[in-house]
Structure 1
């Protein structure tokens, strides 16, 4: 995996679960290296079925737009190449992971990178936030935004800003020289009250959150 990289992604979909036949209709992703966005991927994708009026209103993606979009399988072939060799991040990652794995499975591909959740990490780092929805955190932290939500690339870019802000917060608060992907991933499994002590142990070198190689994000 890329030592200093991660792909931060977001799907827009026809519904809540591929297990109920829902499909991806848009993918947006950014490649982050050394806390900077260095590449982007965005495409609508025709799922071969119509979307509901609710989804059209919620995302702004219409059936007319999807009719002109490339087939989902074609988009996923390109996206599989984009994410190759990188760990992955999403806000509420369990949702995006299910759709990514389902869409890759349709073309006989599978991801190789680990998947971290920026929402789980944010719940442990920004305990005073009103809630941990992406748009709330963007406002709470005064992150740069063009005001667009529920479009894949815009959400991926805002998640990337949140991800790098959390890395900076951990470095400053706990005097960490580097914040690894494994450390960010591991926070989601640490009880909220135990996080400060856990990070103090990491800073002191008494806990290793990099058992799979310490892939640093910056």
Structure 2
């Protein structure tokens, strides 16, 4: 299985399209489900942090004022990730900030994102919620002491991804739940999962027989 980079941003708002900027980024690098490296940094994008965001994350305007320039941080983050495919919890949020902040640093963002929200909705429909803290608790995974900080949330999302990949192997018979398979799975409607797994298994058996 190839490397996967699990990312989380803390930001000043919900959308870069509305002028929000990142205040912190963290990336957890997984190899075969095991954490092999981490990257984390506050970042100064010159944006004001509203009080309710500070209350949620604990990140203050003074903290980001003393942090490295956002473009510098994103250049380091891009080097850290390289061409590794990416995963985030609620990837529609983090992928937009990844692309926007890389764009501000004049860097491309060619990375494909898989989403642990979409995946957990398909594999664990009985969960009371698929918010990160709730699904982590539902699956009895390790919880971070300080949620809503980038590294803590990236660590929890990485643990969730590891559980998803484990269950795909043991419950669904997927020998190699790599990033490409996760991308396909998250696009599959929940009622069609059984058929999707059967087709995947048949395709894998055919490929193996043809080797």
Per the shorter chain, which TM-score range? Answer: over 0.9
Match for 1:182 among 180, 183, 189? 180
Q: How far apart in 1 are the matches of 2:164 and 2:16?
A: 30
8 Å CA contact 1:174–1:200 kept in 2: the answer is: no
* Preserved CA contact (<8 Å) 2:42 2:64: yes
Q: Which residue of 1 aligns with 2:112?
A: 114
CA distance in 1, matches of 2:142, 2:198: 30
TM-score, length of structure 2 as denominator length: 0.93
8 A contact 1:28–1:156 mirrored in 2: yes
Preserved contact between residue 84 and residue 112 of structure 1 (Cα < 8 Å): no
Count how many residue pairs are aligned between Structure 1 and Structure 2.
206
Gaps of 5+ in 2: 207-211
Q: How much has 1:204 moved relative to structure 2?
A: 2.9
Distance across 1 between alignment mates of 2:135 and 2:191: 20
Work out the CA distance in 2 between the residues paired with 1:34 and 1:5. 7
Equivalent position of 2:158 in the other structure: 160
Moved more, 139-148 or 125-134: 139-148
In 2, Cα distance between equivalents of 1:124 and 1:207: 24
The one-character-per-residue Cα deviations of 1:29-50 (angstroms, maximum 9, x if unpaired) are 1000011010000000011122
Q: Does 1:196 align with 2:200?
A: no
- Partner Cα separation in structure 2 for residue 178 and residue 152 of structure 1: 28
Partner Cα distance (1:100, 1:177) in 2: 30
Moved more, 183-192 or 21-30: 183-192
Shift of 1:206: 6.6
Q: Given that residues 174 and 203 in structure 1 are in contact (C-alpha distance below 8 angstroms), is that contact kept between their aligned partners in structure 2?
A: no
* Mapping for residues 29-178 of structure 1, pairs under 5 Å: 29-178=27-176
Q: Are the counterparts in 1 of residues 144 and 155 from structure 2 also a CA contact under 8 Å?
A: no
CA gap of 1:207–1:105, structure 2 versus 1, over 3 A, is farther
Indicate conservation of the 8 Å contact 1:6/1:88, yes or no: yes
Matched residue, 1:211: none
What TM-score do the two structures reach when normalised by structure 1?
0.91
Give the unaligned 5+ runs of structure 1: 209-218
* Matched-pair contact (CA < 8 Å) for 2:23–2:42: yes
Higher helix share: 2
The residue aligned with 1:22 is: 20
